[in-house]
């Protein structure tokens, strides 16, 4: 039976994380756009991480043996939501994308040498990482089977050529995980680990986008004759698509956790505003139209939390939960956008101003309906399962 209770030790940790976010992280948002390239200056992030470590809050998703807090996915679900009350909270606590997903992937599949070289410093926060899968058209996007980046054998080396973009964190990363097609070598695709400063990796540009600047950016990359060894293969040759699925399921869910935190804070800002601002003889909160917006937002966030908790429980039981995580990703990503949109509407001129953070959050949240699988792709996955489960074959005439 599913248990909705939070263990006392996790509840205590949750309180400490909330205190850290309120007292340390949110005040640091004043510096979130100081650096014209990264947004948050690296020195400010380093100070936030040092304080998180001093308080014993760093790397909640990683095992104790690696220096993390050793929480299971159901245990860290509410922790990541609280961390996500600020866009810089997950970075401060060492549980932000793409590093969090990459750490999970390396923990599952890295060799001892790869763990020492990449995973351990990544968990410590000494380095950043990037994941290169998405490609410009006609390459892989929502359909990873369209992957065009190739890796071919040349003696005892691999030679990789390709074109990637939307490679998050590439501007600050020390290691790049590359997805490349390796047909004829076990078939399918393979993941490779490469130092970002390797000859053959060219950062063409940071892709301009709404909601920027983002720490680390989202780069367009050219892979020109990049040479790697067998020891740079993550997992096994030909396992690429399976490894990506092992990464993306939990990563989609942690995105949902973090963004729920921002949406919840947006709801709170709106509720505070409408309880004080007066118009037409009463506070805005006294008008039914506003009350319905508050009610809808609170209800949709509650439903999203239940979906997140259920998916986390399924993953913890060893299930793949592909349909459930797709449902969750669609619901939460669209809920976050609706909640922030309503919050802006309720706050009126203040909502669209930069005096409140709502408009920046809204710009940043819009991409959530696209990355890690667009809503339409996830709906397709859900519909296929529904048809498989309930569809009735046509009777022959």
- pLDDT tens sequence across 176-232: 999 999 977 556 999 999 999 999 999 999 999 999 999 999 999 999 999 999 999
Domain membership of residue 69 (yes or no) is yes
Q: What are phi and psi of 213, to 5 degrees?
A: -85, 150
Cα–Cα distance, 84 to 263 (Å, whole number): 9
Is the same domain home to 150 and 34?
no
| Domain match, 200 and 282 both | no
Please say which residue of 181, 199, 234 terminates a domain. Answer: 234
Q: How confident is the model at residue 105 (pLDDT cuts 50, 70, 90)?
A: very high
Note whether 386 and 318 are same-domain residues: yes
Residue 92 shares a structural domain with residue 146: no
Q: Are residues 207 and 133 in the same domain?
A: yes
Q: What is the pLDDT of residue 186?
A: 56
Answer yes or no: is 111 within a domain: no
Does the residue 338 lie in any domain?
yes
330-353 pLDDT tens trace: 999 999 999 999 999 999 999 999
Q: How do residues 366-391 score in pLDDT, each as one tens digit?
A: 999 999 999 999 999 999 999 999 99
Q: Are 307 and 266 in contact (CB under 8 A)?
A: no
- Say if residue 166 is in the same domain as residue 273: no
CATH number at residue 64: 1.10.540.10
Total domain count, the chain: 3
Write down the pLDDT at residue 393.
74
Does some domain include residue 335? yes
Is residue 182 domain-resident? yes
Q: What is the mean pLDDT of residues 64-93?
A: 98
Tokens (6 digits) for 47? 């100070």
Same-domain pairing of 383 and 326: yes
CATH number at residue 260: 1.20.140.10
Domain match, 220 and 246 both? no
Tell whether 124 is covered by a domain: no
| Separation of alpha carbons 260 and 333, rounded Å | 9
Please check whether residue 180 is in contact with residue 162, taking contact to mean a CB–CB distance below 8 angstroms: yes
Domain assignment of residue 103, yes or no: no
Whether residues 252 and 385 share a domain: the answer is yes
Half-sphere exposure of 136 (CA within 13 A, CB side): 10
Structure confidence at residue 396 (pLDDT): 66
Structural tokens at position 61: 């998703």
Query: 3-state SS of the chain?
Result: CCCCCCCHHHHHHHHHHHHHHHHHHHHHHHHCCCECCCECCHHHHHHHHHHHHHCCCCCCCCCHHHCCCCCCHHHHHHHHHHHCCCCCHHHHCCCCCCHHHHHHHHHHHCCHHHHHHHHHHHHHCCCCEEEECCCCCCCCCCCHHHCCCEEEEECCEEEEEEEEEEEECCCCCCEEEEEEECCCCCCCEEEEEEECCCCCEEEEEECCCCCCCCCCCEEEEEEEEEEECHHHEECCCCCHHHHHHHHHHHHHHHHHHHHHHHHHHHHHHHHHHHCCCEECCEEHHHCHHHHHHHHHHHHHHHHHHHHHHHHHHHHHCCCCCHHHHHHHHHHHHHHHHHHHHHHHHHHHHHHHCCCCCHHHHHHHHHHHHCCCCCHHHHHHHHHHHHHHHHCCCCCCC
Residue 123 lies in a domain: no
Q: What is the pLDDT of residue 301?
A: 98
Of 207, 234, 261, the domain-final residue? 234
Quote the tokens at residue 58.
């760093």
Q: Verify that 208 and 263 share a domain, yes or no.
A: no
pLDDT at 110: 98
Asked whether the predicted pLDDT for residue 134 surpasses 60, the reply is: yes
Q: For residue 140, what is the domain's CATH number?
A: 2.40.110.10
CA-nearest of 219, 215, 217 to 46 is 215
Give the pairing type, strands 201-206 and 218-228. Answer: antiparallel
- How many Å apart are CA 164 and CA 142, to the nearest integer? 14
Q: Are residues 332 and 377 in the same domain?
A: yes
Chosen domain end from 74, 96, 118: 96
Six token digits for residue 318: 């060893």
**What pLDDT shows up at residue 183?**
76
User: Residues 260, 359: one domain?
Assistant: yes
Q: In this predicted structure, what is the pLDDT of residue 185?
A: 58
pLDDT tens-digit readout, 135-184: 999 999 989 999 999 999 999 999 999 999 999 999 999 999 999 999 77
Residue 187's pLDDT is what? Answer: 64
pLDDT of residue 2: 75
pLDDT value at residue 184: 73
Range of the domain at 324: 241-390
pLDDT, tens digit, 9 for 90 and up, residues 268-319:
999 999 999 999 999 999 999 999 999 999 999 999 999 999 999 999 999 9
Whole-model pTM: value is: 0.95
């Amino acid at each position: 039976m599913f248990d909705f209770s939070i263990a006392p030790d996790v509840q205590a940790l949750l309180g400490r994380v909330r205190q850290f976010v309120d007292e340390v992280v949110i005040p640091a948002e004043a510096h979130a756009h100081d650096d014209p390239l990264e947004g948050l200056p690296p020195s400010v992030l380093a100070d936030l991480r040092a304080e998180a470590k001093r308080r014993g809050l760093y790397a909640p998703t990683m095992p104790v043996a690696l220096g993390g807090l050793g929480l299971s996915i159901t245990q860290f679900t509410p922790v990541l939501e609280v961390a996500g009350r600020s866009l810089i909270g997950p970075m401060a606590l060492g549980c932000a994308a793409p590093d969090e997903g990459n750490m999970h992937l390396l923990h599952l599949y890295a060799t001892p040498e790869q763990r020492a070289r990449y995973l351990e410093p990544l968990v410590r926060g000494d380095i950043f990482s990037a994941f290169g899968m998405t490609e410009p058209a006609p390459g892989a996007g929502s359909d990873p089977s369209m992957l065009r980046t190739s890796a071919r054998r040349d003696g005892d080396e691999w030679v990789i050529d390709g074109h990637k973009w939307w490679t998050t964190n590439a501007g600050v990363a020390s290691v790049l995980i590359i997805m490349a097609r390796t047909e004829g070598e076990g078939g399918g695709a393979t993941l490779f680990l490469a130092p970002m400063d390797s000859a053959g990796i060219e950062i063409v540009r940071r892709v301009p986008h709404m909601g920027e600047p983002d720490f680390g950016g989202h780069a367009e990359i050219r892979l020109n004759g990049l040479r790697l060894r067998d020891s740079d293969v993550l997992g096994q040759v030909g396992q690429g698509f399976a490894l990506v699925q092992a990464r993306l399921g939990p990563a989609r869910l942690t995105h949902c956790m973090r963004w729920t935190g921002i949406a919840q804070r947006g709801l709170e800002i709106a509720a505070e505003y409408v309880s004080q601002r007066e118009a037409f003889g009463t506070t805005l909160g006294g008008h039914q139209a506003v009350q319905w917006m508050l009610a809808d937002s609170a209800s949709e966030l509650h439903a999203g939390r239940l979906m997140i908790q259920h998916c986390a429980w399924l993953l913890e039981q060893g299930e793949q939960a592909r349909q459930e995580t797709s449902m969750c990703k669609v619901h939460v990503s669209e809920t976050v956008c609706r909640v922030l949109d309503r919050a802006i509407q309720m706050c009126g001129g203040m909502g669209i101003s930069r005096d409140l953070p709502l408009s920046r959050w809204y710009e940043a949240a819009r991409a959530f309906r696209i990355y890690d699988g667009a809503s339409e792709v996830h709906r397709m996955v859900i519909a296929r399962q529904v048809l498989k489960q309930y569809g009735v074959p046509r009777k022959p005439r």
